[in-house]
């Protein structure tokens, strides 16, 4: 009788805890709305028309022009570039049929740039979705982060990120480095799809510099293939300084000195986000960075053939 009472109490408390959680979809996170863009590349590159997708209200744009991402909270690795006035499009993230709807497929692949019929440049690009904006057209192809306004205003503290996910991950212990400006080569390593959330408290000084303290963190990499869909896959967010936690790995830490990501300041200028330290767990964030990507290495590195499929991206409160 006592055992039955304890078991019933445990089940009731568990159900109550689950009932108290609230699931909130991220806008466009159901992957059902896509903007289609047709970018005609320069004649110097062959003059072909490239199809680019954006996770945004359904529409079709049949002209070579910038897109300002004002109608969506999602940025994407697909971009229109115009270095030295040469129009070029790259597409590594696209919708794919799933049941009666669509999901997003993110691929790591090598983009070849042919000039006058010859392959002059080869660039490795990982398919990526993130909360933020792409500032088109890309002109500085040496630094792709220079055109990414990373993160969005966000003053809430979710418990977790939830999404449907599957993955194809090569077991090979090598990573391709292909920047387009030097000979491509393989280096030792293992490229893995990943999902991460960084909650930050940002502020700006009188000179327009942007600083931040890290409040919440999760960064999960997928080292093996996930051949079947894992629905409602949950990734818990951890608050405060996590460096002494048993799950902590170096790549979960603060941005390195000099920063990685940029954001647009109040003067309209893109500046580096400089993380200065860890914040207390009870602090309230001002911004969130969420990235879902087919590769965990820096730009122009990856394992071609790796893919990540995602759908139904939600917050858990």
What mean pLDDT is reported for the chain?
90
Cα 279–Cα 316–Cα 72 angle in degrees, nearest 5:
85
Span 60-92, pLDDT tens digits = 999 998 898 999 999 999 988 776 666 777 899
Span 179-193, pLDDT tens digits = 877 789 999 999 999
Q: Give the residue from 215, 168, 158 showing the smallest Cα distance to 191.
A: 168
In terms of Cβ atoms closer than 10 Å to its own Cβ (0-12, 13-18, 19+), residue 211 is middle
Which residue reads 């999404």 in tokens?
163
- Domains, the chain: 23-316 (2.60.120)
Both tokens of 41, joined, read 């590349």
Q: Is the dihedral of CA 237, 241, 242, 243 positive or negative?
A: positive
Q: Are 81 and 137 in contact (CB under 8 A)?
A: yes
CA distances from 136 to 95, 112, 130, 133, 210 (A): 21, 20, 16, 9, 22
Span 17-67, pLDDT tens digits = 556 899 999 999 999 999 999 988 877 766 788 899 999 999 999 999 889
Give the pTM.
Answer: 0.90
Length of the chain: 317
Q: How many CA atoms lie within 13 A of 70 on its CB side?
A: 3
What single-letter DSSP state applies at residue 190? Answer: -
Q: Give the residue from 79, 80, 38 showing the smallest Cα distance to 59.
A: 38
Residue percentage of the chain with pLDDT more than 90: 73
Q: In the predicted model, is pLDDT for residue 238 greater than 90?
A: yes
pLDDT computed for residue 6 by the predictor: 47
Q: In the predicted model, is pLDDT for residue 5 greater than 50?
A: no
Dist. CA 286–CA 138, nearest whole Å: 28
Q: Are 293 and 78 in contact (CB under 8 A)?
A: no
Q: Are 141 and 278 in contact (CB under 8 A)?
A: no
Across the range 157-174, mean pLDDT stands at 98
Which residue reads 């992957």 in tokens?
31
Both tokens of 14, joined, read 């568990």
């Amino acid at each position: 009788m006592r055992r039955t009472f304890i078991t019933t109490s445990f089940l009731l408390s568990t159900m109550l805890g689950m009932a108290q959680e609230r699931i909130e979809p991220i806008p466009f996170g159901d992957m059902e709305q896509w903007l289609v863009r047709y970018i005609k590349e320069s004649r110097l590159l062959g003059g072909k028309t490239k199809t680019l997708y954006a996770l945004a209200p359904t529409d079709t744009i049949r002209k070579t022009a910038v897109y300002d991402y004002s109608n969506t909270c999602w940025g994407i690795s697909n971009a229109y570039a115009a270095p030295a006035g040469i129009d070029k499009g790259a597409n590594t993230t696209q919708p794919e049929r799933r049941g009666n709807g669509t999901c997003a497929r993110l691929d790591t692949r090598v983009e070849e740039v042919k000039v006058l019929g010859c392959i002059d440049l080869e660039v490795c690009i990982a398919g990526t979705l993130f909360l933020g904006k792409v500032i088109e057209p890309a002109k500085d192809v040496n630094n792709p982060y220079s055109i990414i306004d990373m993160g969005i205003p966000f003053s809430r503290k979710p418990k977790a990120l939830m999404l449907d996910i599957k993955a194809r991950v090569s077991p090979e212990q090598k990573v391709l480095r292909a920047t387009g400006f030097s000979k491509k080569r393989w280096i030792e390593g293992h490229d893995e799809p990943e999902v991460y959330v960084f909650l930050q408290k940002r502020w700006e000084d009188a000179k327009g510099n942007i600083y931040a303290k890290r409040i919440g963190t999760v960064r999960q990499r997928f080292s093996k293939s996930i051949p079947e869909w894992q629905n409602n896959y949950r990734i818990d967010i951890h608050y405060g300084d996590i460096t002494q936690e048993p799950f902590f790995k170096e790549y979960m830490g603060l941005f390195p000195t000099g920063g990685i990501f940029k954001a647009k300041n109040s003067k309209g200028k893109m500046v580096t986000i400089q993380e200065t330290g860890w914040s207390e767990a009870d602090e309230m964030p001002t911004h969130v960075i969420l990235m879902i990507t087919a590769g965990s290495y820096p730009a122009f590195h990856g394992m071609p053939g790796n893919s990540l499929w995602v759908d139904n991206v939600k917050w858990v409160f």
